[in-house]
Amino acid sequence: MSESLRIATAQSLITPDVAANGAHLRDLMTRARQDGARLVHFPEGALSGYVKAQITSRAQVDWQVVHDQLGFVADKARALGLWVVVGCNHRPTASKDLNSGRPHNSLYIISDAGEVVARYDKRYCSNSEITDWYVPGRQARVFDVDGFRFGCALCIEIQFMEVFAEYERLDVDCVLFSTYSEDPMFWVQARAYAACNNYWLSFSAPAQCSATSPSGVIGPHGYELTRCEAKTEPDLQTTLLDKADPRLAVALYKARPWRRLARSGALHGPDVEDDPRAESPLSS
């Protein structure tokens, strides 16, 4: 398998017009492939629109248009030979509908063969989402592209460290984090998770939020690698995830395995626990 993979992180413009969103996404997909990317990552709600911004009522969602546009995006992925991860509401089937027809807030994972191979449903929802808008998801989602393993997370989940710790245990190389938020603290938290877990993190937010929260990619050392311009306009940046990059050697091959060992408890066995000095603050 390759030691490197180029991904594109998009800062797309999200509108109430699902067909316009789909056309915009396909244009950015073309640009991503021209720039050498094997995968392109889009924001939360990039195709369907975002609840409380473009979507003010579930009744206004034309699910057939959403379905059709998702198909067009998948067709474009096949034509380009490009993996696509795109934010979109997902309507539950009747047998799963336990909450008055509420959808999931999801990331669709589309392969370079143009197939929807998986979907991540947001598990930790905000108070307004869980009480009025969405059915929460139930599990983490990982998938592999050319020897790189990816995990998925959405928006308010940045506040839940257990989401990002779980992806480290699942041995991901990169977390794809999609959001629709103007809060610059999300980027700070994303850097912390990348640094603590020693993986790449792709941060995709829409153009509407880019003045304070532009899209970008953080390395396994916790430092910014690439970032879109903060100009409230659509943008896209590509980043090479390179396992042989000497700047990342300590994070990938020393810090990550050592921290995993420490978290397992292997460094704090019975010989340490039974040491009588541990019970007295004055023992030397």
Asked whether the predicted pLDDT for residue 80 surpasses 90, the reply is yes
pLDDT of residue 236: 97
Asked whether the predicted pLDDT for residue 274 surpasses 90, the reply is no
Residue range 161-187: mean pLDDT, rounded: 97
The CATH number of 4-250 is: 3.60.110.10
Among the ranges given (80-94, 159-173, 237-251), the one the predictor scored with the smallest mean pLDDT? 80-94
pLDDT of residue 1: 62
Residue range 74-87: mean pLDDT, rounded: 98
**For the range 114-119, what are the long-range contacts, defined as Cβ-Cβ under 8 Å and sequence gap of 24 or more?**
114/74, 114/75, 114/76, 114/77, 114/78, 114/79, 115/74, 116/70, 116/74, 117/143, 118/143, 119/90
Among the ranges given (38-42, 255-259, 275-279), the one the predictor scored with the smallest mean pLDDT? 275-279
pLDDT in tens, 197-220: 999 999 999 999 999 999 999 999
Beta-bridge partners for 105: 89
244 or 51: which carries more pLDDT confidence? Answer: 244
Asked whether the predicted pLDDT for residue 156 surpasses 50, the reply is yes
DSSP string, 144-213: EETTEEEEEEEGGGGG-HHHHHHHHHTT-SEEEEE-----THHHHHHHHHHHHHT-EEEEE--GGGTTTS
- CA-derived radius of gyration, the chain: 20
pLDDT-derived band of residue 99, with 50, 70 and 90 as boundaries?
very low
pLDDT-derived band of residue 97, with 50, 70 and 90 as boundaries?
very low
Of the candidates 63, 93, 79, 76, which has an alpha carbon nearest to the alpha carbon of residue 25?
76
Beta-bridge partners for 203: 177, 216
Residue range 43-62: mean pLDDT, rounded: 87
For the chain, give every domain's residue range: 4-250
pLDDT in tens, 255-264: 999 999 999 9
Query: Is 46:9 a contact under the CB 8 Å cutoff?
Result: no
pLDDT of residue 232: 86
pLDDT of residue 133: 85
The structure's pTM equals: 0.92
| Share of residues in the chain with pLDDT > 70 (%) | 91
Residue range 59-78: mean pLDDT, rounded: 93
